[in-house]
Structure 1
């Protein structure tokens, strides 16, 4: 028994040594660190780094002089007040700090542990994707954070709770940075404290935590599936190169011109701004009923398009678009359709002409459209009549297509002429030609039981 105990102790000791953690804060001074961005001050006191918010300063970052690629980073954070902050990783500087940030968010939104792309693409993994992580961070106490980066895989944890599960390959190396956010007058003098900052750069794959299987993985890899997605039933709806699986909505084949497939982007080219007056809509050759559809879209200034589902291409053989429920894609600022309809039900993300999109994940917060010329992620979930629209990983629409409310909305819309609109048992997926240039990529689907 003594021998067994001794072996276990030695084994644990060897394992700890094998992990080879390295401190990146010496507990005494800021050797190895430099300030970038704003002018918020940092100091060391009693083995902690203390950042203080100041007025009239942009975001300030205390950054490591060394850069890191694959690693496990652990640190503790104490936030005694409602100061938004975060920790940059795989970040770089070209006049401003750019790169991934593990959010520290004491607001009611509670996005701590989410991944934000500073000065680039905005939210990549908001905690609206993992609501059970919203209570992991505790104000007024020390919280232990863990960030794991291995290749394209990025995972975050707070106090042992998995928060984010992200796949992204934009940046593979950069510095670590401790943020003091820009503030208003009421936050002047607010503090944030960090301690016990250490990093592991060897045998990273071996020492990562086992991921929580209930935490959704969100991937930004272009036109490819992750192992997690494959295990969970996802498949590409567009292969990134050919028109396989698609045809014209009013054709037997794919349109001969007007849709291009270049650089992994499926693009409908601009014509006259009319509805299906150019190359026409395209639809999947298969039908879907219970499904989760995800894709990225990029619009040009003033553009209009849409993603339709439960489409019956046999209807409306005349002019105009094929008939189905529509996730509206629109430049809300420049396209006149945004001001038509009822109460904004023709704006981006809306169930076109029926229900206006609003942020349901974070009530009171606006829709998180990333802008013209930027890639935006759309997701549509349909299960047993319950339908959701998501824009950039925040829910913006939910409805029951078999409900009396839905039928009433249809009765007062342009769709009232189509019997049982939106209640058909299945239908095609459609990408719309509305005469403006819009691009799509990473189109994938999984069928739900």
Structure 2
């Protein structure tokens, strides 16, 4: 009886797999159904594979499908020579009114370098990295150098997820481009020694029917790219917005009963503290949540202007400091380390970006993009606290012990009773007189 059951189960699974309607995108013989865009690198068919050949003095080159695709599951095998970089575009476009026809859109990364971000999701000629593998370092070993690798991409609605050799790599939630072509990239090169190196693809097939039925259950951790929203998956996990992207609901001035009438601006889904001469809390002043938090994961996307200083504080007690300056609390420092003088103060860099301000320094090699938004994450579980930046843990510490009290005793907070040991507190965005932008402020209470 047991054998019969297993046989029936195997037959059922086989029928499900066979029912998936795959369509070849490449016939193994020629490039019918494809067209070359932008650059002058060569594409040719060799032993049933499409081979892209790198070439000097040409921009990125793309071999694009003539058809466009919305929801699909795409599979292909790929192999790349060391020294090159490549990718596969999906839901991508080439329009005359966008950078003179430059290919842009989502890209499945192919990266044989030591960085090892193959399977990550890049937004070609648009928003840059959406899912670097700093967000999922376990996937960095999925790609095998100098071997054929098997890729899978599932694009269903707002969800785009990737796998290499069965390992989940990236997973985003985004709605910018629902339909577009698929394209194979030969990346531009700057080293003559790399000319003639190749990247190859074969067994390229796509399923566009009943794709929701065939989605893979195990995915990489999701990143929601749609600004100031909570995705369905985030909602299931307990995430909530701290700022709705439009109003001051849930926030007030640290020394006010309402939101500041000056010094802060909300426009195009961005919360901006405005430049006012660099003084601490002297214009609009700090803003704090109306609610206090105890155990949580907090995420804040921020972008600095040149020479800027700001911070995200937690365990804040707004009523403690009645004098000049900022409200008191533990601080995830936001700073232009290169241009702001505060970076040279403190002890061993403990006033630099990502540090626990004036207490614990962040490492010098932190992953920071000065020209774009970065994601700060603060994790609080009881007395254990962590600072993260763009998916990389910077520091961790434990409070409510002798070591913590000794650390505070040698800091600027030594005169504040029981600093950092409070059970709960408000969350604060700092006005330090410099323009800094915030968005995607969300929290998960633990």
Band the TM-score falls in, shorter-chain normalisation? 0.7 to 0.9
Separation in structure 2 between the aligned mates of residue 310 and residue 59 of structure 1, nearest angstrom: 48
Separation in structure 2 between the aligned mates of residue 328 and residue 98 of structure 1, nearest angstrom: 34
SS of equivalent to 1:106: coil
Q: CA deviation at 1:283?
A: 1.0
Q: Which is further off, 384-393 or 202-211?
A: 384-393
Separation in structure 1 between the aligned mates of residue 363 and residue 186 of structure 2, nearest angstrom: 30
Q: 1:80 touches 1:141 (CA, 8 Å); kept in 2?
A: no
Q: Where does structure 2 lack aligned partners over 5 or more consecutive residues?
A: none
Which residue does 2:79 correspond to in 1?
Answer: 78
Which residue does 1:369 correspond to in 2?
Answer: 369
Give TM-score, length-normalised by structure 1: 0.87
Q: CA deviation at 1:280?
A: 1.0
Change (3 A) 1:80 1:271: closer
Residue pairs, 1:288-437, within 5 angstroms: 288-358=293-363, 367-369=367-369, 371=371, 374-401=372-399, 407=405, 409-437=407-435
Separation in structure 2 between the aligned mates of residue 6 and residue 427 of structure 1, nearest angstrom: 59
Q: 1:122 touches 1:370 (CA, 8 Å); kept in 2?
A: no
Q: Where does structure 1 lack aligned partners over 5 or more consecutive residues?
A: none
Which residue does 2:244 correspond to in 1?
Answer: 239
Q: CA deviation at 1:315?
A: 1.7
Q: Which is further off, 216-225 or 234-243?
A: 234-243
Q: Which is further off, 165-174 or 334-343?
A: 334-343
Q: 2:288 touches 2:426 (CA, 8 Å); kept in 1?
A: yes
Q: Which is further off, 150-159 or 8-17?
A: 8-17
Q: Which is further off, 21-30 or 5-14?
A: 5-14
Change (3 A) 1:426 1:10: closer
Separation in structure 2 between the aligned mates of residue 27 and residue 133 of structure 1, nearest angstrom: 30
Residue pairs, 1:18-33, within 5 angstroms: 18-33=19-34
Q: CA deviation at 1:198?
A: 1.3
Which residue does 1:131 correspond to in 2?
Answer: 137
Q: 1:368 touches 1:394 (CA, 8 Å); kept in 2?
A: no
SS of equivalent to 2:414: helix
Change (3 A) 1:407 1:52: farther
Q: 2:304 touches 2:370 (CA, 8 Å); kept in 1?
A: no
Which residue does 2:128 correspond to in 1?
Answer: 122
1:166-216 deviation line (CA, Å, top 9, x unaligned): 11222222222222233334534332211011112222222221234xx32
1:357-398 deviation line (CA, Å, top 9, x unaligned): 347xxxx6x523151xx4332221222333332333333333
Q: 1:223 touches 1:441 (CA, 8 Å); kept in 2?
A: yes
Separation in structure 1 between the aligned mates of residue 177 and residue 435 of structure 2, nearest angstrom: 28
Q: CA deviation at 1:290?
A: 2.1
Which residue does 1:199 correspond to in 2?
Answer: 206
Give TM-score, length-normalised by structure 2: 0.88
Which residue does 1:65 correspond to in 2?
Answer: 66
